[in-house]
Amino acid sequence: MSSPTDPHASADVAARVERRWAIAMVLLVSVLVAMVVYTGLHWAMMPPSRVETVDVTSLHMSGEFVEPNLGSAVESDGSVTVRLIAQEYSFTPQCLLVPAGVPITFRATSADVIHGFLITDTNLNSMVEPGYVSTFRTTFDRTGDHLMPCHEYCGPGHQGMWAHVKVIDKDSFMQMAAQAGNARRLSCVK
C-alpha pair distances (Å), 144 with each of 102, 103, 147, 149, 168: 14, 16, 10, 16, 7
Binding residue for ligand CUA, selected from 74, 154, 165, 188, defined by CB under 6 A: 154
**Residue placing its CB nearer to ligand CUA in the complex, 146 or 158:** 158
Select the span of 4-12, 40-48, 150-158, 169-177 touching ligand CUA (CB under 6 A). 150-158
Contact between 119 and ligand CUA by CB under 6 A: the answer reads: no
**Residue placing its CB nearer to ligand CUA in the complex, 159 or 182:** 159
The C-alpha atoms of residue 174 and residue 22 are separated, in whole angstroms, by 62
Q: If you ran DSSP here, which 8-state letter would residue 33 be given?
A: H
Please say whether the beta carbons of 148 and 96 come within 8 A: yes
Contact between 161 and ligand CUA by CB under 6 A: the answer reads: yes
Contact between 84 and ligand CUA by CB under 6 A: the answer reads: no
Please say whether the beta carbons of 69 and 93 come within 8 A: no
Binding residue for ligand CUA, selected from 115, 146, 164, 185, defined by CB under 6 A: 115
Kindly state the smallest distance separating residue 54's Cβ from ligand CUA, in Å.
Answer: 18
The C-alpha atoms of residue 188 and residue 182 are separated, in whole angstroms, by 17
Contact between 158 and ligand CUA by CB under 6 A: the answer reads: yes
Could you give phi then psi for residue 58, rounded to 5 degrees? -115, 15
Q: If you ran DSSP here, which 8-state letter would residue 132 be given?
A: B
Give residues in contact with ligand CUA (CB under 6 A): 86, 115-116, 150, 152-154, 158, 161
